[in-house]
Amino acid sequence: MPFANLKVPADTLTPESKKKLIDIVTDAYAGIYGEEARSGTLVVIDEVPDGGWSIGGHILTAEMLGRH
């Protein structure tokens, strides 16, 4: 069973954009593993709260990422 766990900044996706992202990832797995993989493809979207990201040990916030 293909599995994708996507981490995104909290409150940046609408329900429609989440669906689009899930569809794109599922399509990609089906394109690689064949259509029989589509029904078993699991996609999880985790929304990371503000300040829950870091790069190189530096905490990133929404303000630093350009989201106000």
Is residue 68 in a domain? no
Task: Answer yes or no: is 65 within a domain.
Answer: no
Active site residue 9: no
Q: Which residue has the tokens 């689009």?
A: 20
pLDDT in tens, 38-59: 999 999 999 999 889 898 998 9
Q: Tokens 């981490």 appear where? A: 7
Q: Give the residue numbers spanning the domain of 22.
A: 3-60
Q: How far is CA 33 from the centre of its chain?
A: 20
Kindly state whether residue 22 falls inside one of the protein's structural domains: yes
Q: What's the total number of domains in the chain?
A: 1
| pLDDT > 70? residue 67 | no
- Domain CATH for 39: 3.30.429.10
1-43: pLDDT as tens digits? 899 999 988 888 899 999 999 999 999 999 999 999 999 999 9
The verdict on residue 67 lying in a domain is: no
**Model-level pTM?**
0.81
CB 2 within 8 A of CB 40: yes
Is residue 50 one of the residues assigned to a domain?
Answer: yes
Catalytic annotation, pick one of 2, 9, 15, 49 = 2
